[in-house]
Amino acid sequence: MSICLIDTSIFVIILGVPRMSDNRDEILTELKEYVELETKLLLPMATILETGNHIAQNGDGRQRRNCAIEFVNQVTEAFAGNAPWQPTSFPSASAIQEWLPEFIACAATNKAPTKPEGTSFGDLTIIKEWEKVCRQNQGHDVFIWSLDADLDQYSRNGI
């Protein structure tokens, strides 16, 4: 079994967020393949929060409203267990406190040569979620599905 953490760069495309949905047909085809392969799809809390922010900032009022409706429907269905993905839990206060010192280095440096800025705190929380899922699922492939160069490198072959 493979386990996939969905990054914001993918979720905004799946939802059709205005000005952020290039390659939508390709991403939806890939999503269909993951579902058919019974890949366990996880929706990190950072992805949910960041996607909500992008929806509120893109398109005209009608587009934002329509996209917000789809977002609420998809996230509600995920929490109810009726979506192709399931949400992860919010990180605990103690976990966040452990990650804060690491964020200083993440913000100051980049992990991908094509990315001039550092790693965001949202991305750091997704990386930490990936690490947790890897620890909990020895023997399984675990990866982050992302269009961001600093996140798409996170893939562990469970063999």
Residue 14's CATH number: 3.40.50
In a domain, 121, yes or no: no
Pairing of strands 141-145, 2-6: parallel
Is 27's pLDDT higher than 80? Answer: yes
In a domain, 69, yes or no: yes
Q: Which of 21, 122, 8, 7 is nearest to 66 (CA)?
A: 21
Q: What percent of the chain has pLDDT over 70?
A: 94
pLDDT of residue 105: 85
| pLDDT grade for 111, boundaries at 50, 70 and 90 | low
In a domain, 147, yes or no: yes
In a domain, 116, yes or no: no
Q: Kindly report the pTM of this predicted structure.
A: 0.90
In a domain, 107, yes or no: no
The count of structural domains within the chain is 1
